[in-house]
Amino acid sequence: MSDSRPPSRTLDPDAVHLGLDLGTQSARAVAVDGTGRTVGAASRPLSSRREGVRHEQDPEQWWRALADACREALAGIAPERVRGLAVDATSGTVLLTDGRGTPLTPGLMYDDGRAHAYTERVNTTGAAVWEASGYRSMQPSWALPKLLWLLDRKDQGPLPAGARLLHQADLITWRLTGRRTATDTGHALKTGYDLVEERWPEAELSALGVPDELLPEVVRPGTVLGTVCADAARATGIPVGTPVVAGTTDGCAAQIGAGALAPGAWNSVLGTTLVLKGVSPRLVRDPAGVVYCHRGPGGTWLPGGASSSGAGVIARQFPGADLDALTRRAAASGSTAVAYPLTGAGGERFPFRAPAASPFVLGEPAGDAERFHACLLGVACVERLCFDYLDHLGAPVGGPVTLTGGGARNAYWSQLRADVLGRTVRLPERSGSATGMAVLAATASGATLEDAAAAMVRVRAELRPDPARTARLLPRYLDFVDELTRRGWLEPAVAAHARRKAEQ
């Protein structure tokens, strides 16, 4: 099913909006016109240094990769058509720079775990702020513990005057505009920014030894930060004077790209792991600290969480397999065995926190096709439990659900997810964080984010659940929930809520 809609009254259909995305493995640039048509796209690979809990990237590579991708994506597009750009990046990735924006440290990536020893002090000192912000506590990979680790390094000597903390996207917006820019509330969250009061918690950060002058100004996503300078234009091919709009984290960017912007709407991104992002009219507080909220447009909040389960289990268990053929055989198997699809050895983060969680299988799948199906069904069960947990917290979950990410390209898997959820799901024509940033960039032309998304995000198909299959799969889902509870990972109250929802 493909959308057909009248042109937006607030967007020039011929205008081009540029979305820039810094992922873990690549930097992407997407040029999208006012009707949602992609008119240019390019990507460049990024490399990482990994060793144990260490995960670093070279910040200069971020700039080089994005500059190259921008030149290719904009090739052949008339400069006067380009009306704005926005940048997203991985959440919690930080570095220190000098006063001119030259990196002093590598980029500590979103999952770098070297700050474990600092987390208790962070959570004790900032307990009241983190509680009020709805997430209760920080994790070692969050930006604030990593900042303390950076400040405490003895090998780098004292920081030079004018040194700054930058989030990953901040380095790019500084290079694009030629001057230091504000960061956005999405990236600032994991650095300790108080999203309720919309300020840095000065007393708590001072007690932790964080100098005020190190921290950036913070603005909401969609704020115009400046315009592209001449040096950046020569490097990227982006016209001088193009507005640079404050972006957000990659998860929130993907949510915008999916058009999930109305209260109760959700974007479920199935990549290596499963990430859910939704919209709420109020801050959703989670006593367990599993779900946290970003600030959304128009006073809304964006609750969500990132699981340690997801499609990564497929790459690990079926390397080099013909996944199309395996899917056909799995679909024909009729198997209801279910695997708990953890992608790594680090336990679970969402819909429950269990550092000791490990994979298991319920049932006895025979052969590769049934083992494959057990993984597909396991991800679908985790996804349903995520929604049940969010409902348990009081988050609105009744709106449309959009499926994106690499896993959504498997048609059978998407239908299976709809069947387990027992609700209709949407598949957009195109999605991704870069697309979301192109939509956000369109607001520089005066459109609201909702109007920009309505004009630029197109639904490719809707999948309705098969009631008979839902009825057959729900008992297996409840078996899965019971096993998680028996192992002590899932709270009985959450399991009881999931059971009540299934019985309804």
Q: Residues 236, 280: one domain? A: no
Q: Residues 245, 284: one domain? A: no
Instruction: Give yes or no for a contact between 42 and 210, defined as CB atoms under 8 angstroms apart.
Output: no
Owner of token pair 């680790």: 149
Q: What angle do CA 90, 92, 96 make, to 5 degrees?
A: 105
Q: Residues 407, 496: one domain? A: yes
**Paired residues of 57 in beta bridges:** 107
pLDDT at 3: 43
Q: How many CB atoms lie within 10 A of CB 424?
A: 12
Q: In this structure, which amino acid lies at residue 12?
A: D
Q: Residues 366, 412: one domain? A: yes
In residues, how long is the chain?
Answer: 504
The model's pLDDT over 460-488, given as tens digits with 9 standing for 90+, comes to 999 999 999 999 999 999 999 999 999 99
The model's pLDDT over 265-291, given as tens digits with 9 standing for 90+, comes to 999 999 888 999 999 999 999 988 899
Q: Residues 242, 282: one domain? A: no
Q: Residues 200, 174: one domain? A: yes
Q: Is the pLDDT assigned to residue 191 strictly greater than 80? A: yes
Residues 386-397 have a mean pLDDT of 97
Q: How many CB atoms lie within 10 A of CB 241?
A: 12
The model's pLDDT over 118-129, given as tens digits with 9 standing for 90+, comes to 999 999 999 999
The backbone torsions φ and ψ at residue 298, rounded to the nearest 5 degrees and listed phi first, read: 65, 30
- The answer to whether the pTM exceeds 0.85 is yes
CATH classification at residue 470? 3.30.420.40
Q: What angle do CA 176, 182, 186 make, to 5 degrees?
A: 105
Q: Residues 132, 277: one domain? A: no
Tokens of 232: 């950046």
Tokens of 221: 């996503």
SS (H, E, C) 134-165: CCCCCCCCCHHHHHHHHHCCCCCCCCCCCCEE
Q: Residues 401, 334: one domain? A: yes
How many domains are contained in the chain? 2
Residues 28-57 have a mean pLDDT of 95
Q: Is the pLDDT assigned to residue 139 strictly greater than 80? A: yes
Domain interval for residue 203: 16-251
Q: Residues 161, 100: one domain? A: yes
Q: Does residue 441 fall inside a structural domain?
A: no
Which long-range CB contacts under 8 A does 203-206 form with residues at least 24 apart? 204/125, 204/126, 204/129
The HSE-up count of residue 51 (CA atoms within 13 Å, CB side) is 3
